[in-house]
Structure 1
Amino acid sequence: MAIAANLPDAAKNGVYWVQGVIVCAAILVLLWLFFRHPRPSRHPEGLTLPLLLPFCLAVATLATGFWPGFFAGLLTPLLTVGSWFIERLRR
């Protein structure tokens, strides 16, 4: 964001586009990890916290106005919390 502030408008759009692509790639990787290990009890050690933190990616996409990234950034934490809740109810 600070880098783009000093660039011309055409370059700003390029920087925002690259940021959107990076955020989308990160969210897709996290979704792939979630669907590979959907149950919290079967997560590899240390995977639960990264699955809960993509709301930070949602905040980054708010700065550029990339709305699909905002909603996708909230999806992984909601899925993780939902799977934890469902697993607790089944026990």
Structure 2
Amino acid sequence: TLVSFDVIGGKAAAFRFANALSIIKISNNLGDAKSIITHPATTTHQRLTPEARAAMGISDGMLRLSIGLEDPQDLIEDIAQALSAGATRTLAAE
């Protein structure tokens, strides 16, 4: 399963979220048996202009998550803790 979603706050918030994950690993490709996440604007679509990425619906906050074979509950908990970590850091920075 492949899911794309935007993180409010752009690239910085997307990186905070991805870096806060512990089970799901950051990768430049999405073909693996383990769950991985990538930031298209700085990886797969980095050579496109910001305007071209925007026309394709690729924002600076977009992440693509490929679900692997891990236990679904472990992945849910990993995503929940990353959301909490990102929210805490965002509020602390404001």
Asked if Structure 1 and Structure 2 have the same fold, meaning a TM-score greater than 0.5 normalized by the shorter chain, the answer is: no
Bigger fraction of residues in helix: 1
Q: Is the radius of gyration larger for structure 1 or structure 2?
A: 1
TM-score, structure 1 as length reference: 0.30
Bigger fraction of residues in strand: 2
